[in-house]
Structure 1
Amino acid sequence: PADPAVTAAAGAETEAARKNAAALAQTLMAKTRPGTGNAYLTRKGFPGRECRMLTGTHRAGGVSWRAGDLVVPLYDDSGELVNLQLISADGRKRTLKGGQVRGTCHILEGQNQAGKRLWIAEGYATALTVHHLTGETVMVALSSVNLLSLASLARQKHPACQIVLAADRDLSGDGQTKAAAAADACEGVVALPPVFGDWNDAFTQYGGEATRKAIYDAIRPPAESPFDTMSEAEFSAMSTSEKAMRIYEHYGEALAVDANGQLLSRYENGVWKVLPPQDFARDVAGLFQRLRAPFSSGKVASVVDTLKLIIPQQEAPSRRLIGFRNGVLDTQNGTFHPHSPSHWMRTLCDVDFTPPVDGETLETHAPAFWRWLDRAAGGRAEKRDVILAALFMVLANRYDWQLFLEVTGPGGSGK
């Protein structure tokens, strides 16, 4: 067990560091000035946003801060200034050494939905984006590790509010995981941006109107199935095309038909999966039965055939796209995107995509694959390159590079 004296001493040191940081925060805030045109906020799309900026130099966290750098004051749950976040023009961020972070926040007060909805965002630029697009109150957590504490405090203070976590969509999944845990703790919801990154990245890429729509789409509750609210009389009185539309809505409008107008597919987890005709017909019959509506095999077939004339026609997936579990890589420009039905992917690699690492090699970062490759190539570098080129042709759908691959087996047999 830990020595109580050592534990008490460590606690005293931590408390002393917090008090020192809080005192320094007060001193630095007194030396800030309000103004617009901050370099960091201008880069984030908010040149006219008034903020607090340093008026002189200061060194913190191993960084020399200059006049004009952004200052974000952080308050504890009693409203006391306890820390600052400093942000340079190029986006470097630091809080004061020893200062309290967990349970602290900066609040952007809003007028819309006051007392009804409250947002929590990781970073200041993300929070500012959400506040700008919604006009609603946003709490800035500064980091994903503070989301859980802040969400719990927010629920205690605002028991009747809808709490929304404006999470970051990280390649690693870290932002999504921590936001989900925070949402569970406060019975809130998670709003993920339509790009890898944060809501400010979406704002700078797609503009205000598209991002505002994406924000509200992200928090819209899933649509109820019409079969949960319709009566048997309502359904039976509908035309065949109307019944087909209700079935389309029941499936979340995530159905498509192939180019020949025969095979149905459903979008699930990033891919379009073919629905066996008999299984789908039985599912449709089950919807009739749910309402106790009379049906026959002919009626079911008629509704399904009509549905095929209504829903979108499936397109061929672009050859430049490679699907992974966590998104889609565009080999033409090297960008990585979240899954979307419009990619029309039919298969995915059963691995997550990760960004390249400086100095990354197959030998050190994929040792199992490297051992197989080296053995298959007999230890010859030029043969390894040939095998890698062939594998890339298959993975990237670049079959236009060569008309066929011939694999020669023992005794000269070819396939």
Structure 2
Amino acid sequence: MNIKEIVIQAAGRWSDLFDMLAIEVGKGQHCACPVCGGKDRFRFDNKEGRGTYICNQCGAGDGLDLVQKFFSCTVREAADKIADCLGLTVNPNNNEQDNPISKKVVYLLSKSRLGQSKYLTKKGLTFDLPLLDNGRIFAPVINASGEYTGGQFIEEDGSKHLMKGSNKKGSFIWVYPKLSNPKDANAKLRGHNEIVICEGVATGISIAEFHHRDAIIVAAVDAGNLIHVARLIREVNSTARIIIAGDNDIDQSPNKGLDKTDLSQNTGLAKAMEAAKAVKGYYCVPNTDYKCDWDDYRQQRGIDKTKEVFNNSIKQMDKPLNIKLEKDGKKPTLSQMAASQRSEVLLDYFDRELALDTASKDVYHYNGITWDVISDMDLMRSMATIFNDANIPYSQNAIRSTVETLKLQLPTMEKQARNLIGFKNGVFDLTTKQFRPHHWQDWLQVASETLFTPGQTDETLQEHAPSFWKWLSYAARGNDKKINCIKAALFMILGNRYHWQLFIEVTGAGGSGKSIFAEIATMLAGPNNTVSASMVALENPRERALIVGKSLVVLPDQTKYVGDAAGLKAITGGDEVSVDPKHKQPYSVRIPAVILAVNNNAMSFSDRSGGISRRRVIFHFGDAIPKDERDPDLKNKIAQELPVIIRHLINEYSDSKKAKTLLEEQLESEEALEIKRNTDSLVDFCGYLLASVQADGLLMGNANILPFNPRKYLYHAYLEFMRGNGLNKPLSLMQFGLSLPACMAEYGKKYMKRKTKTGIRTNLDINHPISDDWLSKIDTPNK
């Protein structure tokens, strides 16, 4: 089918198509643009049903044009995505062509149309599904690889049956988010943090209504298939939080006693718990005295109440709900236990995966990837849940004493090994050059949210990450050395090499690519591990609480800062700094974070001891990118190339010393020196001086010596330089003398002096040919 025919078929259906493709277009009102991200600049007007839109930044276009821009693809590829949503074109592979079940599913989908079933509307649900001519739903069943394995027919009266020949075991119906192509299922399952598995389609749609929208929701068709679907999904994603949203199938027969915990009388609960236990997951079942699924509960209680109950009902398997601590043949209840016994129960509740930071007194919990801080309030609420599940009353003092006692027996948090780079699906060991699964003893506190995947043998940035390469080449102005230095800075952020005792400062005109550098840095560190702060947050103990636990601290627009940056020096130097959080005791801690400053103009530091200079790696990005060459979607394009970028950085700097050496060279580069000269008048002045190997140059002098002679006295020359360049507030003689060694070191020169009968003589002299623009015309003095 050609593109024109596909567009004709899409007419009048663009709202549904954009929903299926996860393109947010609003409801005819101004909203954020799905392409450039600009706020309140986009409107979907859908003129004549053609999917038309207008954006103040991206311009105007029709539905096909928007799909093309959103996915950064060709017109043909955009048309194919639309056709897949419409069921017009399905390109099965050879295996599917030989599979009669898959062929039958494809045929039925081609005969269906997207629409709302009376079965769902009677339940108060609005959700487009494939409908056959008689109005019944045809829900395709797929496996974790995205292959069709059958289908389920749902009649308008709610009766259901599987398509003949369907292979249900381990397969499921994809409910949410809408899937434009079943082949995308595997990638989406691997890339999500939370996956909800329920029994039926209507239940899944209801959960999509009230549960948070970051989760994938699939329907296993029936309770017996929950465990098989859960196991296969766990094989695909070893770290996701899997929630089994089961049905309450309590037996209400007159001759049966009502016991909600008797699993023999409640198939839905039993199967949900069985599936959750098999994958070390979670389960939640409506806590009612009658048969009820989550869709029934929503209809009876409303979305808000159901959302609250659903979230509060989520339990993890293998929790100590039945207390069996015995002493002298007795079984004490929680209320009878000592605080130390209750703390053991709480520790078991968290699978004994808790540790204590002895500096901050914070408790950390291992989530399967990283060790995250868990607040005292969350610990107390978890203990309250244990009491509630055991149907035992409790007091606030009992809860609080349990948490405080728990801290006394927890193991101490260890430091993360510096040879490990954490990813969502494992860690890369820079020592062994191997990628392996997560282990709690890695003590990771930060990990990239990106999946690490092996690349092609001939993978290059130019071919496989063209958008990143375009930005990098422009930022470095095609300079190969600077390209490598920028990549080294990105590796420092990716690998959290805070212990290199360096910080990065990126300067340049607006629109020169600085913000993209910060965006890429955030992607590499992970948005959850990044915080935007100010120099005040580094200097002030109360404000420092903001940056504790982060691996990347971005300092945007700090040009007005003028100070000695004591906090910045301490943090980048690996020293302990004081933190004074609200409502907690102050403490001292080392902050393992990389500091990145991004400014139009470089920061000014009053410290001239060398403490800042030997840590400050400056990149200047020069002129702004011409407006006609700017790509508003560049950030999103680079985000899609992130796995390629990460693999390149790891391979390029498998010996991390190479990256550190490059940054140290950039620190001493002419580019960095020029920036320092522009922000520090004394550094600039030292650029006009010559240094000899012995103290036979200018006398130091002082401000009171007359006549004023800048060709004889070094301090006079400095005062003349300040006056000649219209600069105020020169340094005192003492400050001048103390600051000279570090400022001359910027040029690789050593400052020397000796005491003589005529005063302090230095090894410095004025480089006259380049100083005539500010140096007074005075006869050359006799030394």
TM-score class normalised by the smaller sequence: 0.3 to 0.5
Name which structure has the greater RCO, CA cutoff 8 Å, separation 6+.
1
State which structure, 1 or 2, has the greater radius of gyration over its C-alpha atoms: 2
